[in-house]
Copies of this chain bind each other. A is one copy, B any other.
Amino acid sequence: MSSHRIHNFNAGPAALPLPVLEEIQAGFLDFGGSGMSVTEVSHRSKWFDDVINDTVDRFRRLLQLDDRYHVLFLQGGASMQFCMVPMNVLPDGASADYVDTGTWSTKAIKEARTLGKTVNVAASSEDKNYSYIPRELALDPQAAYLHITSNNTIKGTQWHRYPDTAGVPLVADMSSDIMSRPLDPGPFGLIYAGAQKNIGPAGVCLVIIRDDMLGRVPETLPSMLKYTTFSAKNSMFNTPPCFAIYTVQLVLKWLEDTVGGLEAMATVNRKKAATLYDLMENDGFYRGTAAADSRSLMNVTFRLPDEDLEKRFVAEALENGLGGLKGHRSVGGCRASIYNAVSLAAVEALAQFMKEFARRNG
């Protein structure tokens, strides 16, 4: 079956590896010899048990998680975690530190406060429109946790070195750069990530939680809002989002078996990002919006000399098979999201187009 395909630079939902899509397509009417689609098999069947267990195992191997960590699959995206995290692991009477790097961390702070929880903003880059990652943090050594957003899809910023918290557990929203580079899980008490950028389709949210954080979960929460419900039942207290988890499984298989793991993935990702940032630095036509030391390897945000040119850039790029380059509606400009599944060849095609567009319009 041959299909028209574009290079997809969407911020999320985003590109998935073509071999993953082809495997889903090929077996869509008969999953693993079951005689049913993967969308039709029971979550209480051996077929789905194999899917979810293999997915968990692959996360454990790729992220080198020891037995203290639990790998869970929830619904509602990272936005649901903005309230679930403080409900579960920020006890009344305690306070948590949050670093505000814009948009998503701002929302996470707002939702914690909506619950009546005490939040200390340990640092913010609001003074420069969130174009950088703060280095000076006013950390509370008694904080229940320090919350960060590892990568900001909208502002194009990313933490390149995680802060030293002297034992306070890190909690991170890693929706937009999870599995894009090796990770030392040690400092993290909880990691969450909506799947639809680096690890799968929309509809499932990864939560990795450590024993000590699970121990904080109040028994009084509704079942579906407490992490212990999911850890006790291998994420199957109720019907999980089976298709989304299955797709995540295939993405991890591709990452492990075809790409060769997180170190190999990071090498490709650094090369992709350098291709675009180098072009912008040497060019003068495109202007990156993030501070050089805070640039995201996942979301490359940039402006052109004026908004008319930006509109034409996005439109002409699409005509050339390069989609999803419009910046987020809240900030304008342009953005190339170059997650794991976006190939180096796709980025090189974009760079080529950018050079030609600059030459014609510079």
- Least CB distance from A1 to B in Å reads 7
* CB < 8 Å neighbour of A16 from B1, B25, B40, B238: B40
Size category of the A interface is 35 or more
Stretch of A157-165, A221-229, A252-260 with 4 or more beta carbons under 8 angstroms from chain B: A221-229
A4 / chain B contacts, CB cutoff of 8 Å? 30, 33, 35
Interface-located stretch among A79-87, A296-304, A308-316: A79-87
Contact of A13 among B1, B21, B43, B78 (CB under 8 A): B43
Task: Note all chain B residues with C-beta closer than 8 A to A323.
Answer: 34-36
A187 in contact (CB, < 8 A): no
How many whole Å from A343's CB to the nearest CB in chain B?
Answer: 14
**Cβ proximity bits A217-253 to B, threshold 8 Å, 1 near / 0 not:** 0001111110000000000011111111001000000
**Assembled-state Cα–Cα distance A40/B3 (Å):** 14
With known contacts A8-B36, A242-B202, A115–B222 Cβ distance under 8 A = yes
B25 touches A237 (CB 8 A): no
* B242 & A243 in contact (Cβ 8 Å cutoff): no
Chain A 102-127 interface mask (CB, 8 Å, partner B; 1/0)? 00000100010011000000000000
Taking the nearest CB of chain B, how far is it from the CB of A349, in angstroms?
13
Q: Does A22 contact B (CB under 8 A)?
A: yes
Given contacts A4-B35, A202-B243, A203-B244, 10 further A-B contacts (CB under 8 A): A1-B29, A6-B36, A16-B40, A21-B40, A36-B323, A75-B80, A75-B241, A76-B76, A111-B223, A114-B222
